[in-house]
């Protein structure tokens, strides 16, 4: 393990050695595909400060919808796989187009749950991502939906992002979606209160989370973000949950979102 994590507070994020940023499907597909440009600008801002950045991006299936003549998420696995295969190429192209403005190169890394359960595959993935970061390339990680099945898939990329953060020993994990922070109940419900900070080990008793994002194109909701944040925090990685529109402020160390304190690293 690397030394103690120096990212203890939000304000420490600009000084992070290595960060993982995860963005949800609804933030980079459909009408929100225009958010890719500002997202890339924020990532490159951290990159220019010397921080090593890994992006975990959902959105392949949703991006593939219009190219297959689909109006919504298909129910059958084969069509989901076809949409993922189509949309992944388009999604990475869109990222690279924005990165070209900054002279930064992207690399595509596709993983399945089985890859991170298999010791050989896990070591190979970690070695490849570490080398990409040494070469100042921006890895863009996604689940390999074309070969994943319902039984073995991660289920959402929040968990994938937490596992990647553990693999690369990131100092911070930033989980982005269409909601600015976590709330004590779904934010559209009366009495919902914003959660500013979660101490390590806090069980969040009495808090109720939805099971899917508001846009309905992804598979993760607030509950999956909490589970992922705990998974990363257990390994000593601090976690910030906030909205994609606030990513520049988040990476700049401003007081936004919900902050999960990490366990001390040994």
The answer to whether the beta carbons of residues 240 and 173 sit under 8 Å apart is yes
Nearest to 44 by CA among 97, 7, 98, 89: 98
How many Cα neighbours within 13 Å face the side chain of 36? Answer: 25
Question: Which of 168, 239, 234 shows the shortest CA–CA distance to 198?
Answer: 239
Whole-angstrom distance, CA of residue 91 vs CA of residue 236 = 31
178 among the known binding-site residues?
yes
Q: In sequence order, what DSSP letters do the residues of 1-14 get, joined into one string?
A: --S--S--SGGGGG
Cα 159 from Cα 218, distance rounded (Å): 13
CA gap 252, 266 in Å, rounded:
27
CA 101 from centre of chain: 23
Q: How many CA atoms lie within 13 A of 138 on its CB side?
A: 29
Residue 145 assigned as binding residue:
yes
- Return the H-helix or E-strand segment holding 231: helix 222-234
Positions at the binding site: 22, 58, 145, 157, 177-178
Annotated binding site for substrate: 58, 145, 157
């Amino acid at each position: 393990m690397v030394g103690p994590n120096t990212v203890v507070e939000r304000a420490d994020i600009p000084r992070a050695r290595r960060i993982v940023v995860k963005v949800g499907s609804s933030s980079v597909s459909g009408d929100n595909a225009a958010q890719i440009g500002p997202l890339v600008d924020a990532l490159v801002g951290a990159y220019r400060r010397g921080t090593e950045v890994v992006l975990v991006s959902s959105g392949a299936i949703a991006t593939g919808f219009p190219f297959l003549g689909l109006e919504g998420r298909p129910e059958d696995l084969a069509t989901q796989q076809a949409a993922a295969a189509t949309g992944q190429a388009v999604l990475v192209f869109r990222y690279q187009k924005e990165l070209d403005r900054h002279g930064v190169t992207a690399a595509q890394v596709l993983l399945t749950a089985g890859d991170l359960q298999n010791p050989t595959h896990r070591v190979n993935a970690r070695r490849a991502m570490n080398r990409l970061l040494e070469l100042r390339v921006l890895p863009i990680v996604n689940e390999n939906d074309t070969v994943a099945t319902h039984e073995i898939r991660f289920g959402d990329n929040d968990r994938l992002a937490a596992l990647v953060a553990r693999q690369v020993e990131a100092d911070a994990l930033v989980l982005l979606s269409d909601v600015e922070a976590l709330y004590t109940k779904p934010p559209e419900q009366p009495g919902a209160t914003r959660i500013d900070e979660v101490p390590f080990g806090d069980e969040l008793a009495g808090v109720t989370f939805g099971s899917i994002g508001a846009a309905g194109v992804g598979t993760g909701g607030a509950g999956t973000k909490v589970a992922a944040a705990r998974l990363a925090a257990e390994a000593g990685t601090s976690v910030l949950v906030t909205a994609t529109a606030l990513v520049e402020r988040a990476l700049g160390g401003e007081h936004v979102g919900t902050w999960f304190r990490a366990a001390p690293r040994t």
